[in-house]
Amino acid sequence: VAVPVGANVFNQDAWLSPLAIKEIFFVNNNNTLPVPPLLTGTLNDAGQKVFELNLQRGQKSFLPGTSTETFGINGDYLGPTIRLSKGDKALFKVTNHLGERTTIHWHGAHVPAAMDGGPHQVIEAGETWQPSFEIMQPAATLWYHPHLHGKTGEHVYKGLAGFFIVDDEVSDSLPLPKTYGVDDIPIVIQDRNIDPDGTMNYTINNMENMMGFRGAYILVNGAVTPTLETKAQMIRLRLLNGSNARIYNFGFSDNRTFYQIATDGGLLQTPVPMNRLRLAPGERAEILLDLRQDINNYLILKSYSEETTPSLMRDSMMSRGRMMSDDLDMQTFDVMYIRIGEIGDNGASLPSQLTSIDWLQSATAVRTRTFVLGMGMGMGMGRRFSQSTERHMFTINGQSFDMNRIDETVRLGDTEIWVIRNQSMAHPFHMHDVQFQILDRNGAPPSASEKGWKDTVLVMPNETVRVIARFDDFADPDHAYMYHCHILEHEDDGMMGQFIVVP
C-alpha cells in the first residue's frame, strides 16, 4: 500500500509492532536521500580553482504527482557542494539567470568584505559576479546563500543554498569518515510549506510568519523526510540548519549517544558525546554516528520537543507527514530515516583528540560593544501585522538596518568582545568575516558543544551572550560586513547592522 507523503495516516493512539513500523517507513518511504553534487573546481593558469555557479529557476516534485517552482544553483533546488582546502585560491563565476537581482554570500568564510556577497554585492539579472579569494581558515563546514536585503528569506526558501566544505591538514590526517556522500554526508534541514498542488508559497503577511516562517514539511537535501542508506560503520553527518526560522533539537529514535566533532567554524578539540543537539538557523555541527553494531537496523533522525521523553513508536506515529506549523517547535517529529545494511569497512574511528584551538583571552580585547536585540516601537504583539505597511519590527540597538549607515568601525587586528543582550524572542546572532568564541551565556561558560569556533550563536530570551573575536587580515573602509539575526524574516525586516574593518 503506497502511503502518500503528507497524508495523516496514523491514528496517534494506534499500536503498531516495531516490524510494522519498519515496513511502513522503509517499504513505503521510497525516498532516498539526495546528495548534492560535489564541485572541486578547475585549475586555471593563475593557479585558481574556478567554480561556475548558475543561479536558475527550476521545477521539482517534492510531493508525488505535483510540481513546484523553485530556484537552484546548477540545478532545480539547492546547489552543489563546493570543496576547497586551506591555502587554495578560488575564483567563482556566479551567473544570475533568475530574472531578478540577488547576491551570494559565503557564510562562515573569512574573506575580504568586497568578496563577501552581502547586500551590497548585488548580482543583477543576467550578470556574472566573479569574486576571488584564498581559503585562510581551518577545515569547516560552511555554506553559501543569497543575502539581498529584503529578499534573503524568499530566495533561500525557494532553494538557493549550498554547502562549502573546507579541508586542511588536520582534518585530512584524522581517522574520520571522509568519503563524500558515502560516509561523510552533508545534511541540510529545511522546513517548507507545500500546498497539495505543489505550490511553495512564501508570503509574509501575518504576525506568525513575521515571527519566522515555518513550514510543515521537513526537507533534507531537498527531499521530504528521506531515507539515508548506509553500511554498518562510523558515519559523519555535516548538519546544517538551512531553515529560515525553525530551531531543531536533534536526536536519534533509540536515544543513542552520538559525538559532535565540529562547530560552525571547525573541529572541536575533542569529540563531545551527547544525545541531543540544538541547531538554530545558520548553525552547523558535524557529528559522528557509530553504526558498527547496527547491521540491518534502522534509525530515525528526529527533532525532539524539549519536554518529550523519546518513545520511538509513539513519536514516530505522531510525527509522520504533514504537521501543524504553529506549534511544531514544541513537537517531536521525524527528520530523516536511516536504513543500515551490511557491515562496512571504512576503518573510521572516533579520535580522542581532534585539533587544538587557540583560545582568545578576554584580557587581550581592546574594545567591548553591546548589541541589544529588541522589538521595534509601535509593533506590539497585539497589533495585527496586516494592518500595517510599516515593517521593522525587530531591531538591533533600537535601529533597523540601513544600507547607508555603518554601525560599527573595527580596527584591523583588534580583538573585541561583543555582548549580545536579548530582550526579545530567541534570535540566532551571526557575524560575517570572523569566527568567534563564546565567552559566556548569562555569565556561565558555554557547554562543551559550543566550545569551538562559531559564527552564529542562538541567544535565548533574556539571555546575554558574550563572544570574542579577532578581526584579522582584511581592512577595507569602503566595504562592510554584516551582523544580523539568522531568522531570515528578521534579517529581511532589518534586524541587521554593518561594520567595517579599517587599517
Instruction: Establish if 107 lies at the interface with ligand C2O (CB under 6 A).
Output: yes
User: Shortest distance, CB of residue 144 to ligand C2O, whole angstroms?
Assistant: 8
For 123, which DSSP code? B
* Contact between residue 235 and residue 185 where contact means Cβ atoms under 8 Å apart: yes
Report the nearest approach of Cu ion to the CB of residue 121 (Å). Answer: 12
**CA 452 – CA 267 distance, rounded (Å):** 7
Which long-range CB contacts under 8 A does 203-211 form with residues at least 24 apart? Answer: 204/153, 204/489, 204/492, 205/385, 205/386, 206/384, 206/385, 206/386, 207/381, 207/384, 207/385, 208/326, 209/489, 210/385, 210/393, 210/489, 210/493, 211/245, 211/425, 211/489
Number of residues that bind ligand C2O (CB under 6 A): 10
Q: Which three cell numbers stand for residue 306?
A: 524539549
- Please identify, among the stretches 42-50, 192-200, 407-415, 424-432, the one whose residues bind Cu ion according to the rule CB under 5 A: 424-432
In the window 396-435, what residues touch ligand C2O (CB under 6 A)? Answer: 430, 432
Distances in Å between the alpha carbon of 143 and those of 275, 281, 367?
A: 25, 12, 29
List the one residue from 319, 484, 492, 494 that touches ligand C2O (CB under 6 A): 484
Closest approach, Cβ 160 to ligand C2O, in A, equals 12
Q: How far apart are CA 76 and CA 61, in angstroms?
A: 10
105 binds ligand C2O (CB under 6 A): yes
The 10 Å CB-count burial string (b at 16+, else e) for 276-287 is ebbbbbbbbbbb
> Among residues 151 and 484, whose Cβ is nearest to ligand C2O?
484
153 vs 344, beta carbon nearer Cu ion: 153
Q: Which helix (H) or strand (E) is 25 found in, with range?
A: helix 18-28
Which CB atom, from 122 or from 313, has the smaller least distance to ligand C2O?
122
The two beta strands, 42-43 and 38-39, are unpaired
The answer to whether 160 contacts ligand C2O (rule: CB under 6 A) is no
- Pick the binder of ligand C2O from 187, 482, 485, 487 (CB under 6 A): 482
By a kind-dependent CB cut-off of 5 to 8 A, residue 147 interacts, out of ligand C2O, Cu ion, none, with ligand C2O
Question: d(Cα 456, Cα 461) in Å, to the nearest integer?
Answer: 16
- For position 282 contacting ligand C2O by CB under 6 A, the verdict is yes
Residue 246 binds to Cu ion (criterion: CB under 5 A):
no
The 459-478 site mask, x for binding ligand C2O (CB under 6 A), equals --------------------
| Residue 339 within binding range of ligand C2O, rule CB under 6 A | no
Residues 23-42 that bind Cu ion (CB under 5 A): none
DSSP string, 378-446: T--TTS-GGG------EEETTB---TT---EEEETT-EEEEEEEESSS-EEEEESS--BEEEEETTBPP
Taking the least distance from each CB to Cu ion, the nearer of 223 and 426 is: 426
From CA 387, how far away is CA 379, in angstroms rounded?
11
Number of shown-chain residues binding Cu ion (CB under 5 A): 6
CB closer to Cu ion, 236 vs 427: 427
Q: 243: closest CA among 286, 276, 278, 213?
A: 213
What angle, 0 to 180 degrees and rounded to 10, lies between the N-to-C axes of helices 18-28 and 312-319?
40
Among ligand C2O, Cu ion, none, what binds residue 139 when CB lies within 5 to 8 Å by partner kind? none
Candidate list 49, 60, 86, 147; residue touching ligand C2O; CB under 6 A: 147
Provide the minimum distance between the beta carbon of 495 and Cu ion in the complex, in angstroms, as a whole number: 5
454 binds Cu ion (CB under 5 A): no
> Among the candidate windows 200-208, 436-444, 467-475, 479-487, which touches ligand C2O by CB under 6 A?
479-487
Cα(472)–Cα(435) distance, integer angstroms: 11
Q: Which residue is nearest to ligand C2O (CB)?
A: 107
Residue listed under C-alpha cell 508559497: 201
60 binding partner (options Cu ion, ligand C2O, none; Cβ < 5 to 8 Å by kind)? none
- Residue 427 within binding range of Cu ion, rule CB under 5 A: yes
Please report which helix (H) or strand (E) contains residue 120, including its range. none
246 binds, among Cu ion, ligand C2O, none (CB under 5 to 8 A by kind): none
Burial (CB count within 10 angstroms: exposed 0-12, middle 13-18, buried 19+), residue 99: exposed
**Residue of 454, 500, 413 whose CA lies nearest to 137:** 454
Chosen from Cu ion, ligand C2O, none, partner binding at 484 (C-beta under 5 to 8 Å by type): ligand C2O
Q: How far apart are the C-alpha atoms of 498 and 140, rounded to whole Å? A: 24
Name which of residues 99 to 118 contact Cu ion (CB under 5 A).
107
Q: How far is the CB of 361 from ligand C2O (least distance, A)?
A: 27
In terms of CB distance, is 149 or 231 closer to ligand C2O? 149
Which member of 291, 335, 487, 496 binds Cu ion (CB under 5 A)? 487
Amino acid at 339: R
| 479 interacts with ligand C2O by CB under 6 A | no
110 binds, among Cu ion, ligand C2O, none (CB under 5 to 8 A by kind): none
- Smallest distance, Cu ion to C-beta of residue 4, A: 35
Encode 48-77: b = buried (16+ Cβ within 10 Å), e = exposed.
Answer: bbbbbbbbbebebebbeeeebebbbbbbbb
Give the H or E element holding residue 105.
strand 105-107
Tell me which residues touch ligand C2O (CB under 6 A).
105, 107, 145, 147, 282, 430, 432, 482, 484, 486
Tell me which residues touch Cu ion (CB under 5 A).
107, 427, 432, 485, 487, 490
